[in-house]
A and B are shown apart, each in its own frame.
Chain A
Amino acid sequence: MSSSLLFNVTTFAYLASTVAFFAFLASRNKNLGLAGSGIAFFGFIVQTVAIGLRWQESYAMGHGHAPLSNLYESVVFFSWTIILIFGFLDLKYKYRVVGAFVVPFALLGMAWAQLGMNSGIEPLVPALQSNWLLYHVITCFLGYAAFAVACGISIMYLIKEKQETTDGNSQAGGVIAMFPSIKILDDLNYKAIMIGFPLLTLGIITGAAWANYAWGTYWSWDPKETWSLIVWFIYAAFLHARITRGWVGRRAAILSIVGFAATIFCYLGVNLFLSGLHSYGGR
């Protein structure tokens, strides 16, 4: 069995999970929601095995390294972390319908990686030959994934809020009635960012430590570094607005979506449009 076969299985599992979640929204059949979560977790386990296999395969090829070294591997890992954070929130808070707005992000990542990218295992260039790679990439992507989940929840918030203000009662609008109340969505948004922000902070710190170890400068205003700081500033503003008072609800949801847009630019935009120290991530 090869890792690439398992990655295909993973992609189909996330597709099936997304379909199940959408059917759950349309039919309000609880079993479909359960199926959505179940299939997503099955995909997650398959993906975990596949990542492990790919790691092993790289050793068999003679240049063993963690599968976190290029764009393909990072997108696959990003999908994995999104389902991990979703699974954590799903098991802890049990708002299954959130999956309909989060699993599609993971599906998008896997589909793009499997269909549009070269999946070959490449040896590590000298700059990446360090254990810091593992710590840095894992913390950053867990942070990104938490922001992705927060973004999905914020989109739900905006839809739900709009429906509540136009209809005046939550009886109408069958699909949206399934959503948790806006108060709960607002709280979940905050909780997801509370997971993401410390992880992003750790990601930036481990990146700085690695840069200092490898190049002698912990901060050089490289586009990737700067964008990660921009994302950090945005979520810091979110937290300050939120912690004190006032900025709950709609404005918090919008700030969360803006934060995730900046996150995606930090992750992909910088590699695709700007040049700098992280150029290997763009291939």
Chain B
Amino acid sequence: MTTKDRGFLQALWDFFCALKLSISLLILLAVTSIIGTVIPQVPNIPEEYIHSLSQTKLQLYDKLGFFDMYHSWWFILLLYLLTVNLIACSIKRLPRVWKIVSEPTLVMDEAFEKSLSLTHDVKMKGESATLREKMVSFLTSEFAKPVVTEIDGTCHLFAQKTPYSRLGVYVVHFSIIIIFIGAIIGSYFGYKGFVTIVEGQSVDSLTSRSGKTIPLGFALKCEKFSVSFYDTGAPKEFKSILTVLENGQPVPGYINIPTIVNSPLTYKGITFYQSSYGSASEGGTFYFTVRSRKGGAPVKLTARQGDKVPLPGGGTMQVLESTDEVRNFIPQFSGPAARIEVATGSGAPQAFIVMRNYPELDEQRGGDTIFSYDGSDQKFYTGLQVAKDPGVWVVWLGCALMVIGICMAFFMSHKRVWIRIANGHVVMGGSASKNPAGFQLQFDALVDKLTKL
């Protein structure tokens, strides 16, 4: 290796060790992260948004990866740089810090004194030995128990508090790397996807976010789906009753498991989260009772969605749409409802709503034929988010370490105080690993007490 190469490597190493790089990267990450909160991200980009952009803007955003910003090469690069930076900083500083913790400087000579920003010199009368005793008891009661070293008739005292707090920072840095490792494990060995299951049916594979079909290795059956509402009309609970099947047989312990939002079902490391629901498009039959305003016996009718069903008095009816809970559309009513269209041959077809809980309501419409809705056997489908993430426990381990590290680094500071006694002078010096301004106040108070001794 030539000197020039070594110079370059040294410069590179210094670049990655610099705290300026950490601060710049943190601020850069903060600023660039804003982009993805302002520009819609895949897969949730509305068509109108794309159309509202000019061609050049669209191409520029696309080139820069703004539509999937947090996975763009440059954002990932920033995260990698931050990782390299914090590893390099730790490698550079940890041995030195470890030395401070394991082999404290016991003696404050004059050269070392000059390196301390907090020092104070007090003239004191008395024998060296009595002064020493006085200082030992002073430090013990006001700060911490000191270590005494005598060199050539000069007496040195050293006392410290919570030296291990210096390692807190490295615990936090290490925890960030652990979290990244957990995230990488999740992205390589896990997946996120979606299944929809019609009531009474089962599925044995899922569709991943990228559109791939992934086999589950077992089958999941939706026995029933239900949705309930508060009086206000706001949704109260979405519930799927799920059963896990292995080779077509229900698995004991996984039969009829109610799965609601905030209470997922996990089987063999794969978790199913209640996420959406809807009416199954196939197989719904609707039931109606029809009677004439002029009197006569009511007639029961059945209609499948989209079919035109002949009416007893002539003409046809068909179901346009239906809901299990009309309150979402008309707040003052509740229960199932159907919107039907009636064509009598004379005049335009009429569309109106009939509700199961209000069988008399259609009389007020004033038509010749009075409809009441008896409900349907239409089935729901349930939509479940599916996730497998073997890295998630690594992430939680990292989070726990981070909290521990932050507590060590924040609520504890390594504070050191030295005292040198020589020729009737007591020189006190102090330093703290963190918050020098805060420690200065404490040091000043200590000096204040010392001068009053």
Contact = CB atoms under 8 A, between A and B. Distances in A.
Contacts of A127: 261-262
A29 interface: no
A234 B25 CA distance: 10
A191 interface: yes
B26 A129 contact: no
Interface in B38-84: 38, 41, 70
Interface string A245-275: 1001000000000000010000000100010
A186 interface: yes
Interface residue SS majority, chain B: helix
Contact of B236 (A123, A198, A201, A230): A123
Interface residues of A, number: 51
Interface residues of B, number: 53
B441 interface: yes
A123 B37 contact: no
A183 B30 CA distance: 28
Interface stretch (B6-14, B308-316, B403-411): B403-411
B30 A230 contact: yes
Contacts of B38: 274
Given A187-B437, A205-B399, A233-B29, 4 more contacts: A183-B441, A209-B399, A216-B389, A234-B30
Interface of A: 63, 122-123, 125-127, 129-130, 132, 183-184, 186-187, 190-191, 194, 197-198, 201-202, 205, 208-209, 212-219, 221, 223, 226-227, 229-230, 233-234, 236-237, 240-245, 248, 262, 270, 274
Nearest to A132: B262
23 contacts: A122-B234, A123-B236, A125-B234, A126-B236, A126-B238, A184-B441, A187-B438, A187-B441, A190-B438, A194-B411, A197-B406, A198-B410, A201-B402, A208-B399, A212-B389, A212-B392, A215-B275, A221-B36, A233-B26, A234-B30, A237-B23, A241-B23, A270-B37
A183 B234 contact: no
B264 A213 contact: yes
A129 B41 CA distance: 28
B27 A205 contact: no
A122 B403 contact: no
B262 A229 contact: no
A229 B402 contact: no
A211 to B, nearest CB: 10
B436 to A, nearest CB: 8
A214 B70 CA distance: 22
B435 A187 contact: yes
Given A129-B261, A229-B33, A248-B437, A201 B406 contact: yes
A126 B435 contact: no
B34 interface: yes
Contact of A244 (B19, B275, B399, B437): B19
